[in-house]
Amino acid sequence: MARLTDNALHVLERRYLLRDERGAVVETPGALFRRVARAVAAAEPPAERDRAAERFEARMSALEFLPNSPTLMNAGRAHGQLAACFVLPVEDDLAAIFDALKWAALIHQSGGGTGFAFSRLRPRGDVVKTTHGVASGPVSFMRVYDAATEIIKQGGVRRGANMAVLSAEHPDILEFVDAKRSHGLENFNLSVAAPDALFRAASRGDPWPLRHPRGGIVRNIDPRALLARIADSAWASGEPGLVFLDRVEAANPTPDLGHFEAVNPCGEQPLLPFEACTLGSVNLACFERSGRVDWDGLGACVRDGVRFLDDVLDVNVWPLPQIAEISHRNRKVGLGVMGWADLLVRLGIPYDSPDALAKADEVMGFVTREAHAASEALARERGAFPGFPTSALAHAGRPRRNATVTTIAPTGTLALIAGCSSGIEPLFALAYVRRALDDSELREEHPLVAEALRAAGADAALAAVRAAGRARGVPGVPPAVARLFATAHDVAPEAHVRMQAAFQRHTDNGVSKTINLPRSAAVDDVARAYALAYELGCKGITVYRDGSRERQVLTSGATRNGEECPQCASPLSRTGGCMTCARCGWASCETTE
């Protein structure tokens, strides 16, 4: 079994390992991986179960592959809900609105996160014919959902997380865009569903119609002013992001069932109403050998990962019968990657270089080809997903077991357990301190920093790098070392977007990526990042300007304004849009892993 860091052990003990009736931990990390492997392998034919369980356990124990957090928490336990991502429908009816809230509560309790499209709800001030009252609008109901989510903690240790999506054509779009400028909605991420027509109208200077959900134009606004308002709010608060819904819909594998309206809380997983997806990530840092990618080893891990996630669909205890039905019909899985920044360091490639973009194309192209081939092999062995004959994939004539196969998730806590960089994000910091459960301070440092400085004859600079949390701009650090060890705020926003686009070109679903901007960035910088993401074919975008929130996350010497954990008041760490607490294990984005 691979060595786990002190921080990984603390988080596993706090959130994942089994406890007895008195709350004492009664499971080791190795036993956790064995429990999960055996529970998932129960989906295999009897003659294959033991071998499959051994293979799954070996992958997790080596930290080469980890499934999303609900699988690690719940596999082999009575409730057994293993999926992370769900989308629930919200219809324009009071009973339906609160049905969706009830369903969300059950999902949050089981460890999942929920996405909602509020675009069907009538706008604020609209007359309700049945009561002759006045509608309060989507944002008011979002606040009700937010208050309920605050009360229901997932599985007793995980806070609920939601995504609210509203069409750019909705009459309440401006209220939605500004909703995170004030306090509240702490358990929601917000995204505007921006169609291609919005960008065309802005380019031509045409008016943008705001339409009542039941038909008819309410009024026209300036599309350029709307996009500017979105950028200004994102500059101020990090919200909302954009979902390029036409681009998302163009990749819909089952348009015969309906159209996409919403995504999961971190935005990388578009789903139909009641759909769910199981996620897992391959640790790319494990597949470097002598300065090269171990393609054979990586391919074998990808194949095991796809098989594991497909098995999860069959052993899962779904929270609602509607979710079970469509999830079994489409069998969507999302295999992604983490440790990308670590792999680049090991290959000697700076994150913000053309070579890194070329390597992203090569690596993710390979991962997706292997994943698709694995799903096709499973289809020959077990049958294609039931919806395949009427799906868009049927035209290709190559049956797959799964309607979608690849997704890039943020992997906040999974990366902490694996001891690698999160998702496809750059390194957040080269050295930083976490407070542990016993109030001790645990120093984390990238394992190759000291080695690189020593090889360059610059050992004396290590103390300054540790204090700053970065290498660039630190006196005494050789240019080549500084260039290689790029951190999130060293990387220009354009380079962040281009990296996201490179991975998106080879990903079935979406890509979770935070576009970090410096504190000094202007609103126009946000707008340019949005425009570039649209131009390069991304399916969505999230920006975060340093210091844009009232309480900023503290993780290194480069960032000095602290944000406290809501459970234990310890400093939080932010990586790729995910906030995690090493002391008590709280995390804000775990529902998408």
Give catalytic residues, as residue numbers: 264, 266, 268
Helical ranges in 238-339 per DSSP H? 245-250, 295-315, 321-330
- Contacts of residue 248, Cβ cutoff 8 Å, sequence gap at least 6: 260, 263, 270, 510, 539, 540
Phi/psi of residue 134, nearest 5 degrees = -120, 130
- Cβ atoms of 152 and 105 within 8 Å: the answer is yes
Using alpha carbons, list the distances in angstroms from residue 407 to 306, 510, 592: 12, 6, 11
Q: How many helices (H) and strands (E) are present in the chain, helices listed first?
A: 20, 24
Phi/psi of residue 148, nearest 5 degrees = -65, -40
Give the C-alpha separation, 334 to 234, whole Å. Answer: 28
- Cβ atoms of 30 and 24 within 8 Å: the answer is no
Determine the distance from the C-alpha atom of residue 563 to the mean position of all C-alpha atoms in its chain, rounded to a whole number: 21
Residues in the chain, overall count: 593
DSSP symbols for 190-242? EEEE--HHHHHHHHHT--EEEE-TTSSEEEEE-HHHHHHHHHHHHHHHS--EE
DSSP symbols for 15-73? HTS-B-TTS-B---HHHHHHHHHHHHHTTS-GGGHHHHHHHHHHHHHTTSEEE-HHHHH
Q: Around Cβ 457, how many Cβ atoms within 10 Å?
A: 9
DSSP 104: H
User: H or E stretch including 468?
Assistant: helix 462-468
- Cβ atoms of 121 and 213 within 8 Å: the answer is yes
3-state DSSP helix/strand/coil % of the chain, to nearest 5: 40, 15, 40
- Cβ atoms of 448 and 347 within 8 Å: the answer is no
Phi/psi of residue 160, nearest 5 degrees = -70, 150
Q: Which tokens go with 60?
A: 């997790």
End-to-end CA distance of the chain: 22
- Cβ atoms of 412 and 589 within 8 Å: the answer is yes
